[in-house]
Structure 1
Amino acid sequence: MSVNSYKEDEHSTGTSKRNTLKRLFSYLLFYKKKITFVLVIMGFCVVVSLLNPLFMEYAIDNDITSGNMSGLVRLILAAAVLNLLMVAGIRLRMYLMADITNSILVTIRQELYTHIQTLDFNFFDSRPTGKILSRIIGDINSLKDVLGNFVTTMIPDLLTVIAVAGIMLVKNPPLALAALCSLPLMALGMWLIQTISHKRWQIFRKKASNLNAFIHEDISGIRVIQSFTAEQETAETFRELVKEHRHSFIRACRMNDSLGSIIDFSWGLGVAAMYFVGIRILGTDQVSLGTFIAFGTYIGMFWSPIMNLSNFYNQIITNLAAAERIFEVLDTKPEITDENDSVMPPMKGDVVFQNVCFSYDNKVNVLQNVSFHIHPGETIALVGPTGAGKTTIVNLISRFYDVQKGAVLIDGIDVRSVTTLSLRSQMGIMTQDNFLFTGTIRDNIRYGRLDATDDEIIAAAKAVHAHEFIMKLEKGYDTELKERGGGLSVGQKQLLAFARTMISDPSILILDEATSSIDTNTELLVQEGIETLLQGRTSFVIAHRLSTIQKADRIFVIDQGGILEEGNAHELLEKKGAYYRLHMAQMALPVS
């Protein structure tokens, strides 16, 4: 899938409409017993509705003309009982189908969410969060009427149309053919409309996705917007996106609405043809008054379901694009997959890069033939300019991406040959984005290891000197955090994220700018707290602040697709190379 933002429409896949509908309606098969019961109820209701005109015909041509009032009363009572049962059946059918369709929506949404959780970083790098949310929420909700009406509208109305046509053909073929003469015109109109309408509804879904993506991005970045007083510019962008969304919706609806006009015209033409044939060609001597009334009722019973079916057809056209978008994500295969069920044994922390090449776009290599060997328990610092590949290296160790060439080995095992769960569960990863979830501080720290005890949580917080500020809060560890940790300082959020990483007790520790948002005094305390935790663990520390990595066993200077320099701080300063220049720049001293 191509990279896109709210400014670009998503690419549509050329999925077969038939296959999409077949796949969507296959979810109904999980509720065979309930749907069978619903179909029985609907069958009864259809039979009763088909009998009503025959009751009228019999009453007019027999009981009323002959004055048989007792027979007429019995007929009315029988019809009343049957119709009351039909009304009760319709109510029960509606309740059962609402329960089934809601259960199906929950199933599809759970499948989609679970599948998205398995996708790799490339999927999320290629689209805004708002567009993903649009599929999980909006697109799935739009399928409710389609699923429900497939059973409650399409099946009974289709049966009604077939049954009515059969009854009319049996009773009077010439009248029946006259009444149905406009069907080819209607079929041609429906084909033309669906061809154009489906494309328009695809465009509408894309515009709705763009709008959701912008709203999510705008709200997430509201602090930046207000800081730069860009409210007017974002409001203008929102206005343009809403305009496009509205315009695409109106164009799609206009095409859909024209289908009703075609049905009405075909209906009227059929009625006119029936009466013309019945009165002018056959004559009233061949067609009784009761038959005329029964046919008048039947032709309404024929075209009314046709109208319902056309509305259902409109729903399919309207929401087919939503189903396509959902199945497109479900069919997206994660690039990071487990080749087998092999489990990574307890790690010692021996890490080897063998001639690793990696590119995000398969064009420009971020890493080119990178090789190194890290011994268990070593602390490795990665420094270098932004975009040099520091974070890429640790992402490859964690297997968030796969190398294009070469191999990454841990304890002599290729990371691609074991399950990602067994690999990452033995790593402690703290990224630059210190994301905190809505919930208590205790729950956020425990997220690092779900079976951690309260004592272990407190010990981890103390190790990174987060315990002090936590206890100053009104509810301590039970303090409820807002979304993304709102209400805490950046430094406090980073300390909580650090405690969450520490409690996982990892064999390999990855700290990506772990102390970038902590003040100098707190940083000194944190360094004291983590020194014991680093012992016996292989650690990778990415830092722009060189003062934080002076005790690292080795420092890798990353640039130009590889390792420019390697050594401890003292050795690299003596070389007076790339590291020396970085050191002098941070000290604000002239380079000699």
Structure 2
Amino acid sequence: MENFTIKRIFDFSLLRRLFSFAVPYKGSFYLSMALTIVLAVLSPLRPYLIQVTVDKYITSQWMQMLITITIIQILLLLVETVVRFFFSYLTNWLGQSVVKDLRVAVYKKIVHLNLSFFDRTPIGTLTTRTINDIEAINDVFSEGIISIVADLLMIVAILVVMFAEDWRLTLISLSPFPVLIIATWMFKESVNKSFHAVRNAVAALNAFVQEHITGMVVVQAFSAEKREYARFKNINKEHRKANIQAIFAYSVFYPVVEIILAISLGLMVWWGSNKVLSYEVTQGVMIAFIMYLNLLFRPLRILADKFNTLQMGMVASERVFKVLDSEEHIPDNGTVKATNMQGDIVFDHVSFAYTEDRYVLKDISFHAKPGETIAIVGHTGSGKTTIISILNRLYEIQKGQIKLDNVNIQDYALDELRSKIGVVLQDVFLFSGSIYENITLRNYAISREQVEQAARLIGMHEFIMQLPGGYDYQVMERGSTLSLGQRQLISFVRALLYNPAILILDEATSSVDTESELLIQQAIDKLIAGRTSIIIAHRLSTISKASQIIVLDKGEIREMGTHEELLKQEGFYHKLHSMQFKKAVSI
């Protein structure tokens, strides 16, 4: 579960970095700031014109000037409305533009992070950072700092006019302001804490829902619906509690502001009425001051809320920049092209650990010549899958080196390296979309004819054409509408289409029925023909023809040789083979 910590509002280094994303839109930014000045100037004009109207033209019954000032008032109102529209539109447009660029930058970063990062970070956390946190950054522009500057400028403009008109009346009217400042500060702190609690609860909800929807098969298979439902209710209860705390703060604060405004108006009327009777203050000034106070309190009602919005945006931006600053990616400094790769693989004393010095592979050395088929067997957790993960640099090794065609894999450009290694996993992942899109991975440079040709070679074309829409058949998320064997065969078509120099098959037939296994085995024979292949096998019967079999145990190579050679040794491989043979006979 991710945890939000309180961040200072005016962390200028963070603000500077955040506003650097607005540089491409600096014209809109400067224009919105100019509009804040225009709004500040326009705000006190109408009350001032009403004051002049009452004091000069109503008492003297100068009808022509009354009509003229009324028209001016209407025009000012229209101008202010138009300016506010453009100000609101510009700030929101600017915020959405920054959000768009930030979201692209974050996603680009995420897809280049190494798998170690994803091993430690829940999917729900990354979803929160990519969606919720970045959306909160939009508020920094639309409701945050620019809007706060506009409100502060308007407050300053109104106060300047009020003091210029009558400083004594102004001081009397503003005497309750210390109470308002204290109430605003308490409100800000209260809402700030509840907002942090809300965002923590949102992160927890995202992580929980993402995890449990993905693992719903396990939840239902073990009748854990009630227990998981109870856990969800508790997390949702915390979310509700945090929101209610924020609602309570708002429910208290806004009436307090109204009461303080009423007291200010009462003090102004009490003091001002005496001055009006003694002709020290005009009636127009009294009317104008009532309007000034209302204009003054309008932004003060929401200023604390805007500061909280700004602070939450700062917290969100800190978390987003933490993702952007992550150095957990595979360095892509290689320049060697992988054209005409033959598939000569050398592991030279390779050791690898996922965390610190807890090595899962220890001093691994073997050589696969071009066109050979290497099989890797061993108990669960022996390091079989790890070997293929480090071959295509999903993880970086700590010791030794891996060479392809006598070139260290770190010297290849990363996309060049991976384009020459085809991987078919045991758990085939299919994306939402058509079968054609899943086979090509949305590489529209690959023609429909090429896809059909590859499918015919694998023996999958007839099955695909029987589906509604054929190659345009829409696959549900993770390919749930297809059987495991069908998903495997689609992944074979994908691998064959990209024509890799090296093919990796990870437990490709371990979880399918006998009929599907025969189809898959035929597809495998076509796939491995003429290319170097590494097969991670659970069923030893499928690897008897391998050029070389490597037996792994606890991250170390115990035995190496052909099927016949290893059986003659009567060692680890012989024991595995005997156990599977006895199991098959008993069945």
TM-score of the superposition, structure 1-length normalised?
Answer: 0.90
Give the whole-Å Cα distance in 1 for the aligned partners of 2:448 and 2:539. 33
Residue 381 of structure 1 deviates from its aligned partner by 0.7
Give the whole-Å Cα distance in 2 for the aligned partners of 1:80 and 1:114. 51
Matches within 5 A, 1:15-34: 17=9, 18=11, 19-34=13-28
Please name the residue that 2:143 is paired with.
149
Matches within 5 A, 1:567-578: 567-578=561-572
Please name the residue that 2:160 is paired with.
166
Residue 168 of structure 1 deviates from its aligned partner by 1.8
Relative to structure 1, the CA distance from residue 268 to residue 314 in structure 2 (aligned partners, 3 Å threshold; closer, same or farther) is farther
Relative to structure 1, the CA distance from residue 331 to residue 271 in structure 2 (aligned partners, 3 Å threshold; closer, same or farther) is farther
Residue 569 of structure 1 deviates from its aligned partner by 0.6
Residue 237 of structure 1 deviates from its aligned partner by 1.9
The answer on whether the counterparts of 1:510 and 1:541 sit within 8 Å (CA) in structure 2 is yes
Relative to structure 1, the CA distance from residue 445 to residue 525 in structure 2 (aligned partners, 3 Å threshold; closer, same or farther) is same
Give the whole-Å Cα distance in 2 for the aligned partners of 1:484 and 1:99. 36
Relative to structure 1, the CA distance from residue 350 to residue 195 in structure 2 (aligned partners, 3 Å threshold; closer, same or farther) is farther
- Aligned partner (choices 537, 557, 573) of residue 551 of structure 2: 557
Please name the residue that 1:83 is paired with.
77
Give the whole-Å Cα distance in 1 for the aligned partners of 2:28 and 2:373. 62
Residues 96-146 of structure 1 show CA distances to partners (whole Å, capped at 9, x for unaligned) of 444433333322222222221111112221133223222322333344444
Confirm whether residue 227 of structure 1 aligns to residue 224 of structure 2. no
The letter of the residue matching 1:236 is: A
Matches within 5 A, 1:430-579: 430-447=424-441, 451-579=445-573
- Aligned partner (choices 150, 171, 175) of residue 169 of structure 2: 175
Stretch moving more, 81-90 or 547-556: 81-90
Give the whole-Å Cα distance in 2 for the aligned partners of 1:300 and 1:478. 63
Residue 448 of structure 1 deviates from its aligned partner by 8.8
The answer on whether the counterparts of 1:278 and 1:284 sit within 8 Å (CA) in structure 2 is no
- Aligned partner (choices 56, 60, 68) of residue 62 of structure 2: 68
The answer on whether the counterparts of 1:342 and 1:418 sit within 8 Å (CA) in structure 2 is yes
Please name the residue that 1:215 is paired with.
209
Confirm whether residue 57 of structure 1 aligns to residue 51 of structure 2. yes
Give the whole-Å Cα distance in 2 for the aligned partners of 1:223 and 1:525. 27
The letter of the residue matching 1:210 is: A
Please name the residue that 1:310 is paired with.
304
Confirm whether residue 423 of structure 1 aligns to residue 423 of structure 2. no
Residue 66 of structure 1 deviates from its aligned partner by 1.9
The answer on whether the counterparts of 1:353 and 1:370 sit within 8 Å (CA) in structure 2 is yes
Residue 320 of structure 1 deviates from its aligned partner by 4.1
Stretch moving more, 380-389 or 161-170: 161-170
Relative to structure 1, the CA distance from residue 23 to residue 266 in structure 2 (aligned partners, 3 Å threshold; closer, same or farther) is farther
The answer on whether the counterparts of 2:377 and 2:550 sit within 8 Å (CA) in structure 1 is yes
Residues 33-69 of structure 1 show CA distances to partners (whole Å, capped at 9, x for unaligned) of 2344444555444433311111111111111122222
Stretch moving more, 405-414 or 435-444: 405-414
Residue 382 of structure 1 deviates from its aligned partner by 0.8
Relative to structure 1, the CA distance from residue 275 to residue 339 in structure 2 (aligned partners, 3 Å threshold; closer, same or farther) is farther
Secondary structure, counterpart of 2:359 in structure 1: coil
RMSD: 2.9
Confirm whether residue 382 of structure 1 aligns to residue 376 of structure 2. yes
Residues 501-531 of structure 1 show CA distances to partners (whole Å, capped at 9, x for unaligned) of 1211111111111222343344334434433
Unaligned runs of at least 5 residues, structure 2: none
Give the whole-Å Cα distance in 1 for the aligned partners of 2:178 and 2:337. 63
Secondary structure, counterpart of 1:516 in structure 2: coil
Secondary structure, counterpart of 1:386 in structure 2: coil
The answer on whether the counterparts of 2:92 and 2:142 sit within 8 Å (CA) in structure 1 is yes
Residue 563 of structure 1 deviates from its aligned partner by 0.5
The answer on whether the counterparts of 1:463 and 1:526 sit within 8 Å (CA) in structure 2 is no
The answer on whether the counterparts of 1:449 and 1:504 sit within 8 Å (CA) in structure 2 is no
* Aligned residue-pair number: 583
Secondary structure, counterpart of 2:559 in structure 1: strand
Give the whole-Å Cα distance in 2 for the aligned partners of 1:153 and 1:460. 59
Matches within 5 A, 1:103-502: 103-150=97-144, 153-195=147-189, 197-255=191-249, 258-260=252-254, 263-264=257-258, 267-268=261-262, 270-271=264-265, 274=268, 278=272, 284-339=278-333, 341-447=335-441, 451-502=445-496
Secondary structure, counterpart of 1:557 in structure 2: strand
Residue 251 of structure 1 deviates from its aligned partner by 2.7
Relative to structure 1, the CA distance from residue 344 to residue 184 in structure 2 (aligned partners, 3 Å threshold; closer, same or farther) is farther
Relative to structure 1, the CA distance from residue 341 to residue 287 in structure 2 (aligned partners, 3 Å threshold; closer, same or farther) is farther
Residues 314-351 of structure 1 show CA distances to partners (whole Å, capped at 9, x for unaligned) of 32245444333333322222331223555445422222
Relative to structure 1, the CA distance from residue 466 to residue 486 in structure 2 (aligned partners, 3 Å threshold; closer, same or farther) is same
Residue 165 of structure 1 deviates from its aligned partner by 1.4
Give the whole-Å Cα distance in 2 for the aligned partners of 1:273 and 1:56. 21
Stretch moving more, 237-246 or 313-322: 313-322
Relative to structure 1, the CA distance from residue 500 to residue 102 in structure 2 (aligned partners, 3 Å threshold; closer, same or farther) is same
Secondary structure, counterpart of 1:382 in structure 2: strand
TM-score of the superposition, structure 2-length normalised?
Answer: 0.90
Please name the residue that 1:5 is paired with.
none
Residue 267 of structure 1 deviates from its aligned partner by 4.1
The answer on whether the counterparts of 1:256 and 1:314 sit within 8 Å (CA) in structure 2 is no
The answer on whether the counterparts of 1:101 and 1:147 sit within 8 Å (CA) in structure 2 is yes
Residues 388-426 of structure 1 show CA distances to partners (whole Å, capped at 9, x for unaligned) of 111111101111011122222223333233332121111
Secondary structure, counterpart of 1:66 in structure 2: coil
The letter of the residue matching 2:78 is: L
Give the whole-Å Cα distance in 1 for the aligned partners of 2:388 and 2:314. 42
Give the whole-Å Cα distance in 2 for the aligned partners of 1:187 and 1:430. 65
Give the whole-Å Cα distance in 1 for the aligned partners of 2:364 and 2:7. 42
The answer on whether the counterparts of 1:438 and 1:484 sit within 8 Å (CA) in structure 2 is yes
Secondary structure, counterpart of 1:306 in structure 2: helix
Please name the residue that 1:3 is paired with.
none
Please name the residue that 1:10 is paired with.
2
The answer on whether the counterparts of 1:174 and 1:277 sit within 8 Å (CA) in structure 2 is no
Residues 535-578 of structure 1 show CA distances to partners (whole Å, capped at 9, x for unaligned) of 43221111111111111111111112210111111111111111
The answer on whether the counterparts of 1:390 and 1:558 sit within 8 Å (CA) in structure 2 is yes
Relative to structure 1, the CA distance from residue 370 to residue 183 in structure 2 (aligned partners, 3 Å threshold; closer, same or farther) is farther
The answer on whether the counterparts of 1:359 and 1:365 sit within 8 Å (CA) in structure 2 is yes
Residue 584 of structure 1 deviates from its aligned partner by 0.5
Unaligned runs of at least 5 residues, structure 1: 1-8
